[in-house]
Structure 1
Amino acid sequence: MRIHCLHTAESNIAVFNAAAAQINVPAEVITHHVRSDLLDACEKAGGLTDEICQLTADYLLALSQDADSVVLTCSTLGAAAERAALNSTVPILRVDKALAETALAQGKEIAVLYAVETTRGPTEHLFSQQEGYAQANVRFEWVAGAWDMFKAGNGAGYLQQIAASADKAYEAGADIVVLAQASMAGAAELTQFGTPLTSPICGLRAAVSA
């Protein structure tokens, strides 16, 4: 099996390697690729434009030529995976789709946390398309200031702030807390009142079974 992962942050390589180890996926089957410029372009444009979507889709299709599955790990770029999949002979997956499906299957009071503002639109749209959305109370919560910490290199502070927001969501009545971005996954180990769902584990499970 060969799985290609496309990231927009170098630090997500370690995040996905750790997730692979947790679910017993051999590290050697995963190849990582990083295109931080794609997320940078989205932030400058205020969201995912058609041009950026097509650039990402083309890159995903190129990766699919020697893979059994391709995983896009950036929620902001998620629609590009769906576009690329239309022309691919192998599965091209967005990790947040598996995340949304898992969350809606497990809970009714769901808090979805995100750090990058451009993530909200694609993530909210994705959740709304999944079975069970109408029966659940899904709220989307921005962890203000966290992404600035991440970009400044303060990874520990970034994860601590997300974990604190997750605990507040649990205290407010959420039975499921979702960490919408792959870079947030480490915060799941820092919470006190529950264990949030993360996209690396959900997404890799989907890639293995695709």
Structure 2
Amino acid sequence: MAIIACLHAARSNIAVFEEALNALEFEDVELLHRVESQWLDQAVEASEVTPEIAEHVRQAIEELCQHADAVIVTCTTLGVVAWDARQFSKPVLRIDATLAKAASRYHGSVLVLCTAQSTLESTTHLFAAFVTGDRLAVELIPEPGHTLMTATLKPTTVRLPTIFSSVLSVRWAVSCWLRLRWPGQKNISTVRWPF
């Protein structure tokens, strides 16, 4: 059985990732969750991931690597620590990397909306690595709590990008696990879209 660890900054992400795993119908995969909301709170307060926060996140990721086959950092702000995943003993993915990769396949303009100042720089850096030229715009949503809570947005509108990136992230982690389990196989694919 493959174990995929998820490092969350919000407890509510646990249900989203469990839902994503259920949608994929992978019976041999189990998710291991760890929630560290205090690091996100500190990063938001400092408007950046400080070296101290980064070190705590690195340690948490490495601890999760000891118990899992792959790790997904589900917080965009804290995900900056996993920019160079080669520093870890197992495959590690930033959740926003799955969205950036998917966005790179789109030929039109791409608008990325951030809800926290602490994530603006790292999100811009990440998406710019995938979406080239003037097709990319990254913006901060003013008063995100108010904007996301207005009646004009349906809950599914807000949750779809999270569910989409969760499904892509779980698929990536399963793919990594399969490649590690059967290293000689070149055509391993987990492409099965539940929607």
TM over 0.5, shorter chain: yes
Whether 1:103 and 2:93 are equivalent positions in the alignment is no
Number of equivalent positions: 175
Alpha-carbon offset, residue 28 of structure 1? 5.9
Deviation at 1:91, TM superposition (A): 0.3
Tell me how far 1:186 sits from its aligned partner.
Answer: 6.0
Cα RMSD of the aligned pairs, angstroms, is: 2.7
Look up the match of 1:200: 166
TM-score (norm 1): 0.73
Can you list the C-alpha shifts for 1:39-81, whole angstroms capped at 9, x where unaligned? 0110111111122111101110011002110110010111212
Q: Is the 8 A contact 1:21 1:27 kept in 2?
A: no
Q: Point out the structure with max Rg over C-alpha.
A: 2
* Distance of aligned partners of 1:48 and 1:140 in 2 relative to their CA distance in 1, 3 Å threshold: same
Question: Would you say the 8 A contact 1:69–1:92 is kept in 2?
Answer: yes
Change (3 A) 1:90 1:185: farther
Given candidates 127, 140, 143, the residue that maps to 2:141 is: 143
Structure 2: distance between partners of 1:59 and 1:125: 23
**How far 1:142 moved relative to its partner?**
2.4
Separation of aligned partners in 2, 1:96 and 1:186? 17
Q: Give structure 2 stretches of 5+ with no counterpart.
A: 177-195
How far the C-alpha of 1:90 sits from its partner, in A, is 1.3
* Alpha-carbon offset, residue 146 of structure 1: 2.2
What displacement does 1:121 show?
1.0
For residue 2 of structure 1, give the secondary structure of its aligned residue in structure 2: strand
In the TM superposition, what is the alpha-carbon distance from 1:202 to its structure 2 partner? 2.2
Distance 2:158 2:169 in 1: 17
Match of 2:87, SS state, is: coil
SS at match of 1:6: strand
Aligned to 1:167: none
**Structure 2 vs 1, CA of residues 14 and 186 (structure 1 numbering), >3 Å: closer, same or farther?**
farther
The structure 1 segments of at least 4 consecutive aligned residues displaced by more than 6 Å after TM superposition are: none
Q: State whether residues 62 and 89 of structure 2, in contact with CA within 8 Å, keep that contact through their aligned partners in structure 1.
A: no
In 2: Cα distance, 1:107 partner to 1:207 partner: 26
Q: Which residue of 2 aligns with 1:87?
A: 87
Task: State the partner residue of 1:66.
Answer: 67
Residues 119, 185 of structure 1: CA spacing in aligned structure 2 closer, same or farther, 3 A cutoff? farther
Matched residue, 2:158: 187
Identity of aligned residues (%): 30
Tell whether the 8 Å contact from 1:108 to 1:135 is kept in structure 2 after alignment: no
